[in-house]
């Protein structure tokens, strides 16, 4: 560890959201310690101005060292990916509970003032997400509990332990339920990527190679809302600075089908693809959308980036990655 003590720990700082959050905090003059278990060469972003540490935060001694001396902790560390990864790695996803619990324990013991936990819309009850024309999910819809098997249960449990640490020990815990965050400098291939990056990669590959046949998981009629990374980073910091310990949605309410998502990326790319649908492929719940009533009322936050704008920025970045690999 360096001699200069940082103000903030970003746990999972080598990941997609963690890398963007660390960068934004650094631009504000905040001293950041970023910790991730991956080698630096595998971090989505490495910020030289930060104190960058390789460490497995599922280990309590490592978590204590990582938290030492900081005033605030943003915990975004988790072993996760898109729906294909989540459905085939339920045990791996649930074992993230070690990281979630140990970073929180270390934060209590080291006197951390504020602790932010990145939860997920996967905590919501499955019966509330069985239709494409789904009603937007309110925070109360997480109960009675029936979250995404594996990953969703870990997130819901970790939300609860944040609540009880706040009640029992007075630590200022804050929880956001992220809804499908996307953007540049994230995973775009390899099996852990999420739908926007995967579709951008498929369309970019089609545009570069001239082979316009792409595969779509499911029938394309399943629906989601997608939140651009800049909006996520801003909202996350508002929640951290706020006074409510209740979990709150952080997402867009712009509901689209996967087919519509492909349409938009094709429009950006200037091509049309030939789609082959894979109904047996992992596709998650039928529909999911974010009710933003609570976050708007509490933090005056709503996403400012329309889906088409965020997708254009994301596609341009993914296109460059695909082109560099093919060439």
* Cα dihedral 84/147/132/184 (nearest 10): -50
Tokens of 42: 């595998």
> Where do runs of H (alpha helix) occur along the chain?
16-27, 60-67, 83-88, 90-94, 96-109, 151-169, 195-209, 229-241, 258-269, 293-299, 307-326
Distance from C-alpha of 238 to C-alpha of 259, rounded to nearest angstrom: 33
Could you confirm whether 151 is annotated as catalytic? yes
Q: Which of 303, 5, 310, 321 is nearest to 190 (CA)?
A: 321
Q: CB count, 10 Å around CB of 131?
A: 11
Distance from C-alpha of 110 to C-alpha of 101, rounded to nearest angstrom: 14
Q: Which of 86, 75, 253 is nearest to 174 (CA)?
A: 75
The answer to whether 8 touches 73, Cβ cutoff 8 Å, is yes
The answer to whether 149 touches 91, Cβ cutoff 8 Å, is no
Element (H, E) at 213: strand 213-217
Q: Which one of 74, 115, 124, 151 is the catalytic residue?
A: 151
Q: Residue 48 burial (CB < 10 Å; 0-12/13-18/19+)? A: exposed
Q: CB count, 10 Å around CB of 210?
A: 8
Residues forming the active site: 151
């Amino acid at each position: 560890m360096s001699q200069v003590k940082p103000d903030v720990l970003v746990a999972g700082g080598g990941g997609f959201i963690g890398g963007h959050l660390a960068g934004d905090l650094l631009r504000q003059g905040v001293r950041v310690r970023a910790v991730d278990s991956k080698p630096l060469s595998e971090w989505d972003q490495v910020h030289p101005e930060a104190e960058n540490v390789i460490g497995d935060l599922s280990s309590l001694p490592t978590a204590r060292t990582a938290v030492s001396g900081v005033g605030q902790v943003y915990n975004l560390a988790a072993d996760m990916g898109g729906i294909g990864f989540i459905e085939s790695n339920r045990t791996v996803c649930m074992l993230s509970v070690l990281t979630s619990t140990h970073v929180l324990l270390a934060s209590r013991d080291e006197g951390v003032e504020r602790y932010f936990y990145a939860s997920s819309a996967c905590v919501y009850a499955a019966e509330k997400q069985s239709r494409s024309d789904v009603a937007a999910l309110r925070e109360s819809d997480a109960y009675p509990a029936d979250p995404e098997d594996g990953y969703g249960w870990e997130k819901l449990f970790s939300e609860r332990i944040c609540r009880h640490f706040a009640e029992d020990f007075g630590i200022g815990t804050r929880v956001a339920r992220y809804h499908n965050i996307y953007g540049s400098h994230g995973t775009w291939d390899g099996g852990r990527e999420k739908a926007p990056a995967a579709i951008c990669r498929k369309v970019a590959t089609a545009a570069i190679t001239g082979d316009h046949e792409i595969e779509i998981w499911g029938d394309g009629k399943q629906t989601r809302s997608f939140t651009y990374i800049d909006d996520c980073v801003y909202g996350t910091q508002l929640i951290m600075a706020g006074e409510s310990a209740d979990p709150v949605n952080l997402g867009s309410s712009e509901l689209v089908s996967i087919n519509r998502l492909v349409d938009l990326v094709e429009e950006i790319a200037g091509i049309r693809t030939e789609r082959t649908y894979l109904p047996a492929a992992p596709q998650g719940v039928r529909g999911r959308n974010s009710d933003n009533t609570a976050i708007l009322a509490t933090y005056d936050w709503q996403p400012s980036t329309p889906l088409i704008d965020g997708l254009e920025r994301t596609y341009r970045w993914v296109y460059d990655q695909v082109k560099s690999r093919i060439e």
